[in-house]
Amino acid sequence: MTPESPLLRAENAARESIAIACRVLAHRGLADGILGHISLRITDDTLLVRCRGPRERGLAYTQAEDIRMVDLDGNPAAEGELAGGYAVPNELPLHTELLRRRPDIRAVVHAHPPRVVAADLAGLAVRPIVGAYDIPGTHLAANGVPVYPRGVLIRNRRLAEEMADVMGAKPVVVLRGHGLTSAAATVEQAVLQAISVDGLAGMALQVATAGGQLIDLPDADMVELPDLGGTFNTDTAWRHELARLGKHR
């Protein structure tokens, strides 16, 4: 048997990590059913992306074989990548436009969290209403989470450009009547950002339902919230997500 090259080993590991991240999204309730996808930049011109295959069962059941490598136009990046009835997501332009214009990111998550959609439709913005409850989420919200105001399927580059223009350099954009897009340097970070936004949206809905008012964290408290660093914010948080996922297997 020919030994697996380091490049192929890394590629296969990336496919598995994206598949696991899709399952985390689903088990967190951010991508119920068959809607949603995650991508990862491999080279300047290629990406791995969660595709829909002939035996599609939904994001909760994503396997490494569902992750395929394509170019920025959605063409297979190697022979057989879209064989066997696999097709790129209709909203692939959502991923590729961000990867084209933002060298600071490698991963893009598109999900349909019901609480995010409901909060936005209720007029509740993603705001820094909590403190130490979710420090990364609070900092993310304090910097502002823009809203793309069209509830459309982002199926072409024109619509993807509109969304990207609204998102700017921010890590997350809410898509009205649709869901959200999260972008980061890693798949794990992009998923965790989406989870934080979903949690803040859920908290806002609870406060509003109880008759309360959303009040941003005071500046004096904000400056006391430390950056706990990537090891805690991402690595430890991701191990927790994997443990949660394992419990559901």
Domain residue spans in the chain?
6-247
- How many whole angstroms separate alpha carbon 237 and alpha carbon 225? 17
Residue 60 to residue 21: CA distance in whole angstroms: 10
Give the pLDDT confidence score for residue 1 in this predicted structure. Answer: 53
Identify the pLDDT of residue 227.
84
Amino acid at 140: L
Average pLDDT over residues 207-235: 91
d(CA 30, CA 249): 18
Mean pLDDT (whole number) for 49-70: 96
Is residue 248 predicted with pLDDT exceeding 60?
Answer: no
CA distance 47 to 42: 5
pLDDT at 229 over 80: no
104-139 as b/e: b if 16+ CB within 10 A: ebbbbbbbbbebbbebbeeebbbbbbbeeebbbbbe
C-alpha angle 183-204-165 in degrees, rounded to nearest 5: 30
Taking residues 3-17, report their average pLDDT.
89
Active site residue 162: no
Kindly indicate the confidence band of residue 2, based on its pLDDT and cuts at 50, 70 and 90: low
Which of these is catalytic: 4, 11, 65, 91? 91
Q: Which two three-digit tokens encode residue 236? A: 């430890």
Q: What is the pLDDT of residue 148?
A: 98
Residue 210: exposure state from Cβ atoms within 10 A (0-12, 13-18, ≥19): exposed
Residue with structure tokens 């069962």? 57
Tell me: pLDDT of 4 over 80. no
CATH classification code of 6-247: 3.40.225.10
pLDDT at 141 over 70: yes
Query: Has residue 109 got a pLDDT over 60?
Result: yes
Tokens 């989870």 sit at which residue? 195
Torsion of CA 94, 100, 101, 107, to 10 degrees: 60
Q: What is the mean pLDDT of residues 90-106?
A: 98
pLDDT of residue 5: 85
Closest CA to 21 of 141, 111, 116: 111
Q: Using an 8 Å Cβ cutoff, are 194 and 174 in contact? A: no
**Interval 42-66 mean pLDDT:** 96
**pLDDT band at residue 216 under the 50/70/90 scheme:** very high
| % residues pLDDT > 90 (the chain) | 90
Residue 58: pLDDT above 80? Answer: yes
| Structure confidence at residue 247 (pLDDT) | 62
φ, ψ of residue 184 in degrees (nearest 5):
-160, 180
Taking residues 73-81, what's their average pLDDT? 96
Number of residues that make up the chain: 249
